[in-house]
Amino acid sequence: MSLPFSRTTRSLAADSSRQSLYLGLSAAALFALWLGWFTLGQVTLYEVSRQARLEVETAPHPVSAPVAGKIVASHLALAKEVKAGEVLVELDASTERLRLKEEETRLAALPPQIQALEAEITAAEAAGAKDHRSALDAIASARSRLRESNAIANFASDHARRLAELRKTGRVSEIDALRVGAESQQSRAAAEAIGAEIHRLEMESQTRSHQNEAQLQELRRRLADFQGQVVTATASIARLQAEIDKHTVRAPVDGRIGDMASMRPGTFVAEGEKFGTVVPSGALRIVAEFLPAAVLGRIRPDQPAQMRLSGFPWAQYGTIPARVSRVATEIRDNLVRVEFAPAAFRNADLLLQHGLPGAVEVELERVSPATLVLRTVGQALATPVTKTERGS
């Protein structure tokens, strides 16, 4: 009975040795494969941001009240297509319109007054010129008579002198000499009277000229005042029109109304109060916010990425492929903005809508697992020791 059992024991020992050999060889092969993958394989590193959303490339434009006032009419409606310049909200501008009407009435009354003053100035200038010419003619006529009187007076004086000499010789009677002398004095007096008249005419001409000039200056001053009122009224009308235009809120761009406040006619709004937002039409982009350490020096333009939308299971709808287009270089609110350009994919018409939130994964690089482990260990060793760690 011992012989069969001994053979069985030897058979079982031989089988156990072969199984151990096979298991060892399999483990060695698996370890070799794992080691090859660990040193030669490639692992993709991603940076993830859950603060991502789809936006139109042209930023949405808020619609707000430029001035305080009461709403007269509202044409806001969610998802309504609007054109640039289309009236969205009308505010009460009755006071400004009344002031505008007053200024327009005042402006309309000024041109006839200006024309009347211009005609009066023209007539005054013509009358002054005519009066000046008349005065010059009168003075010229008086000077001619003065020359004539001087000639007569000179002749009478010479005649009187000759008769006086003849009277001494007795050839002319004394009465004749006295008469001629009197005539000579009369002629001289007439000449002096004409000279005085010339002086009077010149003074009167100067006085009338000064009076005409003063009258013209007053008319010109009034004309300048009216012309200034025209300029002032025109500027006031332009200012009031601008004020009235501020009471009409228009669409800043072509697009669709993305959101709106519930404001009915009769509601009083403060200056700057928001009515809604107009989302422009155009291509969409993905905008995400990352921590500075995850972006600066690591995320660069043209890197591949993908976006998973919140509310749309990625297993059913897929993800949105994209590439990095722009990376901010300044930190804002301890975050860095990164923009992505989405690529064409299925369900684009359904998923590519402004405002959809989601998460973005950016492919940074491909490294071996060994490199990744060594990098992790290096980062752990490079971490500074805190005071608590020193104390422990």
Q: Residue 387: its pLDDT value, please? A: 45
Q: Residue 10: its pLDDT value, please? A: 56
147 & 223 share domain: yes
46 & 184 share domain: no
241 & 299 share domain: no
Percentage of the chain modeled with pLDDT above 90: 23
CATH of the domain at 240: 1.10.287
Indicate the burial class of 132 (C-beta count within 10 angstroms; 0-12, 13-18, 19 or more). middle
Percentage of the chain modeled with pLDDT above 70: 88
Tokens representing 240 are: 């009031």
101 & 169 share domain: yes
184 & 103 share domain: yes
Question: Residues 190-199: what's their mean pLDDT?
Answer: 82
Residue 215 lies in a domain: yes
152 & 231 share domain: yes
pLDDT band of residue 347 (cuts 50, 70, 90) is low
Residue 272 lies in a domain: yes
Question: Residues 122-146: what's their mean pLDDT?
Answer: 85
198 & 112 share domain: yes
Tokens representing 329 are: 């270089």
292 & 157 share domain: no
Question: Residues 216-237: what's their mean pLDDT?
Answer: 92
In this predicted structure, which of 43-52, 181-190, 338-347 has the lowest mean pLDDT? 181-190
Spatial strand order in the sheet of 81-82:
61-64, 274-280, 255-260, 81-82
pLDDT above 80 for 220: yes
131 & 117 share domain: yes
Q: Residue 388: its pLDDT value, please? A: 46
pLDDT tens-place string over residues 88-117: 999 999 999 999 999 999 999 999 999 998
Tokens representing 199 are: 């002086």
Residue 391 lies in a domain: no
Distant-in-sequence, close-in-space partners of 293: CB < 8 Å, separation ≥ 6: none
Residue 293 lies in a domain: yes
CATH of the domain at 348: 2.40.30.170
Beta carbons of 89 and 71 less than 8 angstroms apart: yes
pLDDT above 80 for 352: no
pLDDT above 80 for 40: no
CATH of the domain at 77: 2.40.50.100
**Boundary of a domain, candidates 200, 228, 246:** 246
The one-letter code for the residue type at 258 is G
pLDDT band of residue 1 (cuts 50, 70, 90) is very low
**How many independent structural domains does the chain possess?**
3
pLDDT band of residue 392 (cuts 50, 70, 90) is very low
Residue 29 lies in a domain: no
Helix (H) or strand (E) holding 129, with range, is helix 94-169
Tokens representing 320 are: 């949105």
Residue 7 lies in a domain: no
Quote the pTM value. 0.58
Q: Residue 349: its pLDDT value, please? A: 65
Residue 6 lies in a domain: no
Q: Residue 389: its pLDDT value, please? A: 45
In this predicted structure, which of 70-74, 203-207, 247-251, 287-291 has the lowest mean pLDDT? 203-207
Looking at per-residue confidence, does 191 or 382 come out higher? 191
pLDDT tens-place string over residues 256-295: 888 888 888 888 989 988 988 888 877 888 999 999 888 8
pLDDT tens-place string over residues 289-342: 999 888 888 888 999 999 988 878 877 777 889 999 999 988 988 999 999 998
Task: Scan for tokens 């709403």, then name that residue.
Answer: 71
Q: Residue 295: its pLDDT value, please? A: 84
In this predicted structure, which of 3-12, 146-155, 201-210 has the lowest mean pLDDT? 3-12
Q: Residue 36: its pLDDT value, please? A: 75
Q: Residue 340: its pLDDT value, please? A: 93
236 & 366 share domain: no
264 is in which domain, residue-wise? Answer: 61-92+248-276
Look at residues 268, 361, 316 and name the one whose alpha carbon lies nearest to residue 49.
Answer: 361
Residue 383 lies in a domain: no
207 & 259 share domain: no
Q: What is the mean pLDDT of the chain?
A: 82
127 & 237 share domain: yes
